[in-house]
Structures are given as C-alpha cells and as structure tokens.
C-alpha cells in the first residue's frame, strides 16, 4: 500500500513482514526463546489507563523536552539497533537523517552496519547523538571507541548491560549469516565471527561477560560523557547505579531479545521510582539521574504513560527499522510525523499543555504490582 495509507506504527510492521528480505525480517523481528517478553512489552502499556483533566485551554500544546541536557522535539529517541543495512542499503544513515530533520536524538549502536565516522559525518551540524556501547573483552579497544565517540561530540554513553551472552533468537538462528553479506557490521577490529547461528550470534562474540560494577569507576576515569546503563530490570540495580554516581538507567529488556520472561520496562519503572523515592528521597523525572524506558513503544500514548510515571524519555527501536525497510527514508519521516500528530492530539485530550504537566496523577497504574 502507498505510504499515505499507513496510519500508525503497527502498520509498518505488518507491511515490513511481507516486503523485507527474509533474513532481515528474522533478525529485526526475532526475540528470545518463546518471545513472551517481546509480546508483553507492548501489552504492558495496556494495563495503564489515563485520568485526563478538562478545561485547560489546550489551544497550544508542546511535547518537546530535554534529554541529558539536550533538546529534543519529542520525549523519545531512536534507540540502538544493530545491522541497519539488512533492511535498506543506507542502513543507520536513514535514522541519522530523519533524526536531524525531526529534531530528535539517535543512539548509534556499536554494531552499526555503517561505520561510526560515516554516521557522524552524515549528521547535520550540531546534531545531538548518543552512543550505545558493547564492552569488549579487550578494554583497550573499548577505551579507544569511547574516547573517539567523546571526541566526535557524542552526548551520552549508553552501556548495554543485559547482554553478557546473546539470547537465543531462534527465528534468526535458522538463517545463516553469510560472509559476503553487504550488510555486515562495521566492527572496527572487535574480534572473531562465528557465522553458523544467525546474525546476532555472528557479530557478538567480542562482548565481555566479565563486566561488573567495579568497571564503572574505570568508565568514569576514561570519559566525561554522561554514563547510562542500558538494560536495568529491577530497582536494586537502579539504586546501585545511582549510588555509583551514574547519570541514569534505561529500563529495558532489549526488545525481548535477551532473557525471556524479563518484565517490561514500563512495569519496572513503577518500582524504580517508588523505591528510589523511598530510599534516596528522589523525585522523577530527575535531572541528575534520568530514567528511560524502551520496549514496545508504538503510540504517543505509550510515551505519555512513561513520562507520567517519571521517565525522562523513551526509546523506540523496531518501528523505525520497519518503516525504512518497507518505504525507505520517506517511511521513517512518516513514522515520525505520525508520532508528532499523535502527541498533538493526545496531549490535548489528556489536558497537558507541556511535558511537565504530564504527571503521575494523570495515569492509573494500579494494575502494576510493586516489588
């Protein structure tokens, strides 16, 4: 169907499933084991309901915000997803250009298909970007990557902590990752490749399962970029990150691709804000320690629920991959325009004129259990 008939982010997935190369669909859509967590990610938003306010003069509404001190036209960012070229020859550059055009932030993955410098060179002057880091067993390689990212102007380092070993994504494992694959990741000397078990496993063998809390002091010693842990799944680890002086956490289960039966980020958010308030007197959203959520975000209302519950912003992954895989750069522009239109209408209907007015009282999250 023509792009004009695409009405929401779910539509891109339905189209992409039938138009993308099989191997790309397998890598992008797959999740761990029985994919229960992947399904739960979006479903979890269904358990939260709104308590809108009326008669607030919502002629003008503004959903722009700041993320780690950087301006963003929406309270969301493009999260890191590896192997952008599987779906389209321009790969991650589609995301870079769309982010510039719409004033949002892209998180560049360690395992991008395009090289880091190619992405940075494509960025518009002054365009804000974050970097997602997989930590190499060889810490000298990691140090070089981190310091290069900082030197090129990256504004936040998101260290992925939910992938000491890659999850079993069986749909992906049934596809072989070919040596001559043009989408092969630009790995800049990251280590060996085992091609027998799908794309995900082929590219990830350098990741260090030995990473632990004591490494955080080392990260602070090698960079001044804000440090955020991506893949926190309970309040205990969020508290630890806060106590170590890190700048935030992403409550995420990696799009359901790692531990199956991990809870959704939006559910974890409720316990994290509650416990950190109780134990450290923090309120959220918080400038010094920012909370992010990703997984299953498909509507502006999903984003607004996370903001109401204390998140600074949310990450969106697959919908943008599906949008550009199915329709090229116009697809992702359309995806962002759809979100723009959804924010405008739903901010009005919620009775919030700006992001600060999207507050906890505007949601009923009583279906989410505290732990």
Tell me which of 27, 134, 324, 327 is the catalytic residue: 134
| Residue 10 among the catalytic residues | no
The minimum distance between CB 25 and ligand FNR, in angstroms, equals 10
Catalytic residue among 11, 90, 162, 172: 162
Task: Let me know if 322 is a catalytic residue.
Answer: no
Tokens of 295: 């997984």
Q: How far is the CB of 53 from ligand FNR (least distance, A)?
A: 29
The one catalytic residue in 11, 172, 254, 327 is: 254
Q: Report yes or no: 205 and 194 within 8 Å, Cβ to Cβ.
A: yes
Nearer to ligand FNR, 134 or 352 (CB): 134
Rounded CA gap, 275 and 238, in Å? 9
Min CB(149)–ligand FNR separation in Å: 14
Catalytic, 371? Answer: no
Peptide bond into 285 cis (omega under 30): yes
3-state secondary structure of 126: coil
CA pair distance 147, 335, nearest whole angstrom: 33
Residue 44 CB, nearest approach to ligand FNR (Å) = 11
Least distance (Å) from ligand FNR to the CB of residue 224? 22
Binding residues for ligand FNR (CB under 6 A): 27-28, 41, 79-82, 109, 111, 132, 160, 230, 252, 254-255, 257, 294-297, 315-318
Q: Pick from 151, 130, 254: which is nearest to 204 by CA?
A: 254
Residue number, 230 or 275, with CB nearest to ligand FNR: 230
136 SS3 class: strand
Shortest separation between residue 205's beta carbon and ligand FNR, angstroms: 13
E-state strands within the chain: 49-50, 65-67, 70-72, 76-78, 105-108, 129-133, 157-160, 227-232, 248-251, 290-294, 313-316, 363-364
DSSP string, 27-55: HHH--STT-HHHHHHHHHHTT-EE-----
- Smallest distance from ligand FNR to CB 104, Å: 14
- Show the tokens assigned to 73: 């036209």
Please say which residue, 200 or 355, places its beta carbon nearer to ligand FNR.
200
Q: Classify 207 in phi/psi space as left (phi over 0), alpha (psi -120 to 50) or beta.
A: beta
Q: Are 195 and 286 in contact (CB under 8 A)?
A: no
Spell out a b/e string for 215-250, using b for 16 or more CB atoms within 10 Å of the CB, else e.
Answer: ebeebeeebebbbbbbbbbebebbbebbeeebbbbb
Pairing label, strands 105-108, 129-133: parallel
Convert 67-85 to b/e letters by CB count within 10 Å (16 or more is b). Answer: bbeeebbbbbbbbbbbbbb
362 near 352, Cβ under 8 Å?
A: yes
The first and second tokens of residue 292, run together, are: 């992010």
Q: Which is nearer to ligand FNR, 269 or 282 (CB)?
A: 269
- Catalytically annotated residues: 134, 162, 254
């Amino acid at each position: 169907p023509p792009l004009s008939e695409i009405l929401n982010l779910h539509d891109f997935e339905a189209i992409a499933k039938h138009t993308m190369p099989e191997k790309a669909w397998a890598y992008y859509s797959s999740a761990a084991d029985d994919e229960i967590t992947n399904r739960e990610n979006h479903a979890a938003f269904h358990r939260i309901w709104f308590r809108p306010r009326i008669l607030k003069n919502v002629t003008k509404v503004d959903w722009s915000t700041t993320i780690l001190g950087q301006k963003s036209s929406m309270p969301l960012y493009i999260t890191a997803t590896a192997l952008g070229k599987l779906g389209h020859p321009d790969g991650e550059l589609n995301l870079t250009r769309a982010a510039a055009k719409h004033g949002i932030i892209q998180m560049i993955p360690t395992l991008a298909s395009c090289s880091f410098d190619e992405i940075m060179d494509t960025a518009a002057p002054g365009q804000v970007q974050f970097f997602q880091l997989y930590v190499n067993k060889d810490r000298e390689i990691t140090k070089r990557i981190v310091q290069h990212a900082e030197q090129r102007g990256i504004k936040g380092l998101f260290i992925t902590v939910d992938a000491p070993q890659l999850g079993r994504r069986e749909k992906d494992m049934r596809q072989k990752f070919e040596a001559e694959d043009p989408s092969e990741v630009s790995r800049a000397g990251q280590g060996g490749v085992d091609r027998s078990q799908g794309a995900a496993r082929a590219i990830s063998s350098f990741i260090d399962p030995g990473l632990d809390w004591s490494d955080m002091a080392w990260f602070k010693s090698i960079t001044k970029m804000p440090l955020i842990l991506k893949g926190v799944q309970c309040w205990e680890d969020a508290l630890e990150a806060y106590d170590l002086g890190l700048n935030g956490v992403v409550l995420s289960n990696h799009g359901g691709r790692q531990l199956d039966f991990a809870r959704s980020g939006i559910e974890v958010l409720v316990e994290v804000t509650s416990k950190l308030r109780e134990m450290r007197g923090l309120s959220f959203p918080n400038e010094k320690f920012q909370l992010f959520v990703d997984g299953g975000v498909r509507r502006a209302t999903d984003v607004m629920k996370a903001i109401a519950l204390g998140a600074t912003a949310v990450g969106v992954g697959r919908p943008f991959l599906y949008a550009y895989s199915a329709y090229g750069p116009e697809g992702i522009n359309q995806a962002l325009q759809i979100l723009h239109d959804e924010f405008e209408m739903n901010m009005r209907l919620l009775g919030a004129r700006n992001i600060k007015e999207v507050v906890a009282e505007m949601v009923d999250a009583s279906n989410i259990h505290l732990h």
